[in-house]
């Protein structure tokens, strides 16, 4: 099953609000895992990053890949410009 089809099924089954809340939860778990990593403690960053990325992909599907891609391109351009200035 293509991911887009799965994301649609998830949104149809649980609704956009529930999936947004799940994304927030998964990103919170990633924050905790990163903090443990940075503090030299046992962590599960890879697992939590995988969970967060899946939820972020669902949000991209929900809000529109093209809109998100345009925003990403804009942000990348801004970063490149900033890096040129800081040479």
Over its length of 87 residues, how does the chain's per-residue pLDDT go in tens digits? 799 999 999 999 999 999 999 999 999 999 999 999 999 999 999 999 999 999 999 999 999 999 999 999 999 999 999 999 987
Supply 61's token pair: 């599907």
Residues 85 and 74: their CA atoms lie apart, in Å, by 17
Q: What pLDDT is attached to residue 87?
A: 75
| Structure tokens given for 10 | 């998830």
pTM for the predicted model, two decimal places = 0.86
Whole-angstrom distance, CA of residue 74 vs CA of residue 17: 27
Which of 54, 25, 52, 49 has the alpha carbon at shortest distance from 37? 49
Q: Which two tokens stand for residue 83?
A: 């890096």
């Amino acid at each position: 099953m293509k991911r887009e089809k799965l994301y649609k099924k998830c949104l149809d089954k649980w609704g956009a609000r529930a999936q947004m809340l799940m994304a927030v939860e998964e990103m919170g778990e990633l924050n905790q895992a990163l903090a443990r990593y940075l503090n030299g403690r046992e962590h599960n960053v890879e697992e939590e990053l995988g969970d967060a990325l899946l939820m972020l992909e669902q949000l991209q599907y929900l809000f529109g890949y093209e809109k998100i891609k345009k925003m990403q391109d804009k942000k990348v351009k801004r970063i490149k410009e900033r890096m040129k200035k800081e040479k």
